[in-house]
Amino acid sequence: MVAVIAGTPVDTSMGKALLEEHGYEAVSFPISDTPEEQSILQVLYPERLREIIEGKVDEISSLGMDTVFVYCNSISAAVDMEEIGRKKGVRMITPLMVYRDLGKSYSRLGVIAANSQSACGIEKALQSGKNDTRVIGLGTLELVDAVESGMVPDKIVDEFELTGLLGFFRTSGCEALVLGCTHFSWFRDALADKSPIKVIDPALMMLEMLQT
């Protein structure tokens, strides 16, 4: 049994569904009700966010689970989830663990994240793998809101003119675009179909880490 921690009920359920598709039993533990509430906690009240998460991990442990799948980039950037895992004696699988390895393989990456703090945290993790990796990042809660509303993936790509953004990343020399928010898995395939550069979804790489 794997516990899924994420920012809102929507991305938590997405993480749970991903695990179940690959044969895992999973239980959801959302931290906030809305993206706005979660973003405010991350940016303005990280210590309060940490307290909430530690309470969730205590609840998870009391239910006999010892593995936590952190299906949220921005939480991982705002709070040291691996340190909490060590403190509480549970295994943490987080997006930032993926980025440390990913940064070793590229010299220039584009990143789209839920907010600017998350983009900054992802940049630090990527550069911890290779300090000369250049990162061009964007933080936008509007894309998260679109996913939460259930907007069709192709419509998200078109309405937010993401093909233009992809062109900017390509012109800037980016070898790939990292989807720095687990919500963005929702439109991954629609975006990849129109992308001139590789689109990387860390959620799939986290799944590989869980399997090892």
Per residue in 4-16, pLDDT (tens digit) is 999 999 999 999 9
HSE, side-chain direction, 13 A CA sphere, residue 203: 26
Reported pTM: 0.90
On whether the CB atoms of residues 120 and 153 are closer than 8 A, the answer is no
What residue type is assigned to position 73 of the chain? N
- Three-state SS at 111: strand
On whether the CB atoms of residues 61 and 90 are closer than 8 A, the answer is yes
Cα(80)–Cα(50) distance, integer angstroms: 8
| Structure confidence at residue 211 as a pLDDT band (50, 70, 90) | confident
Cα(111)–Cα(177) distance, integer angstroms: 6
Structure tokens at 167: 């062109």
Q: Which residue has the higher pLDDT, 154 or 211?
A: 154
Per residue in 97-142, pLDDT (tens digit) is 999 889 899 999 999 999 998 999 999 999 998 899 999 999 999 9
On whether the CB atoms of residues 30 and 59 are closer than 8 A, the answer is no
CA 91 to chain centre: 17
| Enclosing H/E stretch for 36 | helix 35-44
Percent of the chain with pLDDT over 90: 91
On whether the CB atoms of residues 121 and 78 are closer than 8 A, the answer is yes
Per residue in 63-102, pLDDT (tens digit) is 999 999 999 999 998 999 999 999 999 999 999 999 988 9
| Domains of the chain, start order | 2-94 (3.40.50.1860), 97-202 (3.40.50.1860)
What is the predicted pLDDT for the residue at 187?
A: 98
- Mean of pLDDT values over 39-45: 92
Per residue in 163-209, pLDDT (tens digit) is 999 999 999 999 999 999 999 999 999 999 999 999 999 998 999 99
